[in-house]
Structure 1
Amino acid sequence: MLNFLYAEVNFVGAMVLLLMITNWNRSSFNKLPLDQKIFNGVMFFNLLIFVFDTGMWLADGDPRPWMRHVMYASTILYYIFNPLICLLWVMYADFKIYESKYGLLRRMRFYVIPAIISTILSLATIKTQYYFIIDVNNHYIRGEGFPVMSILALIYLVYAVWMSLDDIRRNGWGASQEVNMTLLIFPFIVIASVLIQIWYFGLSIIWVCTMLACTSVYIKTQNAQISTDYLTGVYNRRRLDQHLRRRIRMRRQNRLLFAAIIDVDAFKSINDTYGHVEGDRALVKVSEILRKTSKRSEAFVARLGGDEFIIVGERNHQDEIALFMERLQMNVVKYNQEHPAPYVLTLSMGHAVFQEGDTIDSFLAAADQAMYREKQAHKAEGRLSGIQTGSL
């Protein structure tokens, strides 16, 4: 009877996660920021673990041969996915704190080690019965290696807590609260549930508590959607200010922090001639080009408002910044060639490098002035009439 009760609880938890995942992916998955993609994986893995855990509860004690196969398959997958969901959480915390995709990729070679060890031990358990034992009556029994799996999973959660506390130490609670409040709540809830379940064998609360922790992150993230520009999917000015405050505090002294402001040429003419729907499409196209150009770098893309966008990133030398700007212009040209339209997209852009003594406002003002100078040069060259060019 208790087995079916736990199975019903798992079913409810899985349905809650499924609803959150469905709502989370209403727009294109590819357009989601990396942190949201990773958290999407956390929720999906939590849902799968509910499925595996349900298989274990329903098969437990059922002597039929095929149910024994269900028991083994569910239990092995359950043990494999335990550390994997914790690995995803470390990836999520890493990106939220450091906001560096390539920094995360560099650290991944270390992050995956506990998950690989646990996966090998889980598969070996079929022969060694190290993690668990399935007795002749098809009952699940913890093996002598069960604490090893728990420790490997807890390593991730403890490390995620350490990253948050270290960020608070370096930047102060006031500057880190918005990021680290959620990052601390999730692992504390899960760690507490793990310790309780280890102590009280037969109790099954870990993944319900994990689902509740996911729900708290989901609600906070949904509230934070006001930081994302609804039309283009890139970040908005509010999120830009938050990012710049953290990026300036955490910038590396041997790197150049730059901001590039981009303005769509002749945007008013596109709106006036083809309507605001086509103008919106043009903005979406521009955001796609900016994302594509920034995809393989640590660049942050946001919409300032209207037809203005901004890219914030770091490079080693001025030449690398100039190369990035050239590549952006080349991608605009390539896009126009591959997507014929009655108008041609052209961009005016300028950038500034953060200097000691700069504020966010002075930093952005310098980039804006550089962009304005290029726009004036485009006007002098007669390049702002994208509609006429596109109709040739």
Structure 2
Amino acid sequence: MDPLLLYIEVNGLCVLIMALILAKTYLGSDLRDRQVWFAAVLIANIVACGLDVAWALVDNGFAHLGRFGSYCINALYYLAASVGSFCWFVYSERVQNSRFASTAKGLALSALPLIVSVVLIALSAETGWILSVDANGAYYRGDWYAVQFCIVYGYGAVTAVHALIGAFKKENFAQRSQYIALASFAVFPLVGITLQAFLPGVPLTSVGVAFALLWVYLDMQEQKISLDPLTQLNNRTQLARYVSSRMRHRDALRPLRLFIIDVDRFKHINDTFGHVEGDRALQRVADAMRSGFAGSSYFLARYGGDEFVLVAETGDEHGLDRVSDILNAELERLGEAAKAPYPLKASVGCAMCTDEMRTLQDLIRAADKQLYLAKQAR
């Protein structure tokens, strides 16, 4: 088979896979901010594959663009790779609920390597720092090519390490496969570019990227089964799995505790401000749980309706009063930030797992008793 034709066909297959994922992402009913970043990753890599094919045609004499045209193709390829890596970093960090990637300041700091890359690529037209093209249209890597390489793969490596650490945290029990998929994104393209050095006639870098994105997308679909669609917390099925697992591996020094959370006067919010605002209130409770207990070993879940659950193996320092105080303080802070037209508070009940308890429902019933007392006190 003609090596050039094989090169084009493999790149074309990668483009087709990524284009299908892109279409499914945009047509999804729950397109969120982080999915937009994922779509940007796909678009950047589709563009990169197209430029790779264009350069293959030029390099094999099927098109003649001159020095400037050849430089533009390679420069745009590097630019697409840099933009794609930056977008992947933001997407991956937001999936991991990183505050850094969710603020304007964090995004600006994250973009600094990308800005360096763009400047170096632009200046290379005269300096040849990253790449150069001679009068005959031949392409050469510049002396500072390693800087470009480190920027592109550095984004993936940093967030991959973060995901790998997060995969083994107790609070990420239900999303472990998702974290591992995120961590793998730095591996497959690197393997592809390494193998391509030995098989230059096959675009294995494109294959590695397409395979990694496909894996992440498939895992994304799987996570929809285990996450509550409104709040993006674990759903009741994942809660039952987690509690069952922890009951089988209990630590006498760190007893298993379940905190059940009920939103006060939630029906009044729905009746007065409408169900859309009611949904926003539930999302704010989920955000308060995430921010209030960030970095802890709590397992967060939506049990159903306006009821949420925290599960942890903790000592007495994380008792009922402390959890309630933290949660309601966060609800007040988020409510003020959102300029909500109503106060949002929650009551909390707690139960500690005993030898007589065998299932999630046993813990829920015990926690419900304390929750009832808390609501009566209010």
Q: What interval of TM-score do these two structures reach, taking the shorter chain for normalisation?
A: 0.5 to 0.7
Structure 1 CA distance for aligned equivalents of residues 159 and 99 of structure 2: 17
When residues 299 and 237 of structure 1 are mapped into structure 2, their CA distance, relative to the original with a 3 A threshold, is: farther
1:50-61 → structure 2 map (5 Å cutoff): 50-60=49-59, 61=61
Q: Secondary structure at the match of 1:136?
A: coil
Q: Which amino acid aligns with 1:291?
A: Q
Q: Which amino acid aligns with 1:155?
A: G
Q: Is the Cα–Cα contact under 8 Å of residues 193 and 209 in structure 1 kept in the other structure?
A: yes
Structure 2 CA distance for aligned equivalents of residues 309 and 131 of structure 1: 55
How many residue pairs get aligned? The number is: 340
Structure 1 CA distance for aligned equivalents of residues 198 and 56 of structure 2: 19
**Corresponding residue for residue 146 of structure 2:** 147
1:1-392 → structure 2 map (5 Å cutoff): 2-3=3-4, 5-27=6-28, 32=32, 34=34, 36-60=35-59, 61=61, 64-65=64-65, 70-97=69-96, 99-102=97-100, 105=103, 111-167=110-166, 177-198=176-197, 201=200, 203-230=202-229, 232=230, 234-235=232-233, 236-238=235-237, 260-262=261-263, 265-266=266-267, 285-291=277-283, 298=291, 303-305=302-304, 307-310=305-308, 321-326=327-332, 349-351=346-348, 372=372
Q: Is the Cα–Cα contact under 8 Å of residues 158 and 187 in structure 1 kept in the other structure?
A: yes
Structure 2 CA distance for aligned equivalents of residues 376 and 319 of structure 1: 17
When residues 107 and 4 of structure 1 are mapped into structure 2, their CA distance, relative to the original with a 3 A threshold, is: same
Deviations for 1:43-96, whole angstroms, at most 9, x for unmatched residues? 23222322332333344446655x765533332221123233334444444445
Shift of 1:329: 6.9
RMSD: 5.0
When residues 130 and 197 of structure 1 are mapped into structure 2, their CA distance, relative to the original with a 3 A threshold, is: farther
Structure 1 CA distance for aligned equivalents of residues 51 and 124 of structure 2: 17
Q: Is the Cα–Cα contact under 8 Å of residues 134 and 141 in structure 1 kept in the other structure?
A: yes
Q: Which amino acid aligns with 2:125?
A: I
Q: Is the Cα–Cα contact under 8 Å of residues 348 and 371 in structure 1 kept in the other structure?
A: no
Shift of 1:192: 0.8
When residues 174 and 147 of structure 1 are mapped into structure 2, their CA distance, relative to the original with a 3 A threshold, is: same
Deviations for 1:365-390, whole angstroms, at most 9, x for unmatched residues? 79866764676689xxxxxxxxxxxx
**Corresponding residue for residue 275 of structure 1:** none
Shift of 1:311: 8.2
Which of 205-214 and 237-246 deviates more?
A: 237-246
Structure 2 CA distance for aligned equivalents of residues 176 and 204 of structure 1: 32
Unaligned runs of 5+ in 2: 247-258, 294-299, 311-317
Structure 2 CA distance for aligned equivalents of residues 374 and 205 of structure 1: 60
Q: Secondary structure at the match of 1:322?
A: helix
Shift of 1:131: 1.9
Q: Which amino acid aligns with 2:182?
A: L
Q: Which amino acid aligns with 1:322?
A: N
Deviations for 1:256-283, whole angstroms, at most 9, x for unmatched residues? xx9743277559x98xxxxxxxxxx965
Unaligned runs of 5+ in 1: 247-257, 271-280, 337-345, 379-392
Q: Which amino acid aligns with 1:349?
A: A
Structure 2 CA distance for aligned equivalents of residues 176 and 351 of structure 1: 25
When residues 155 and 145 of structure 1 are mapped into structure 2, their CA distance, relative to the original with a 3 A threshold, is: same
**Corresponding residue for residue 254 of structure 2:** none
Q: Secondary structure at the match of 2:129?
A: coil
Q: Secondary structure at the match of 1:214?
A: helix
When the two structures are superposed, what TM-score results if normalisation uses the length of structure 2?
A: 0.66
Which of 217-226 and 325-334 deviates more?
A: 325-334
Q: Secondary structure at the match of 1:290?
A: helix
Structure 2 CA distance for aligned equivalents of residues 370 and 331 of structure 1: 31
Deviations for 1:121-159, whole angstroms, at most 9, x for unmatched residues? 111111112222223343433333333322332333433
Q: Is the Cα–Cα contact under 8 Å of residues 290 and 328 in structure 1 kept in the other structure?
A: no
When the two structures are superposed, what TM-score results if normalisation uses the length of structure 1?
A: 0.64
Q: Secondary structure at the match of 2:18?
A: helix
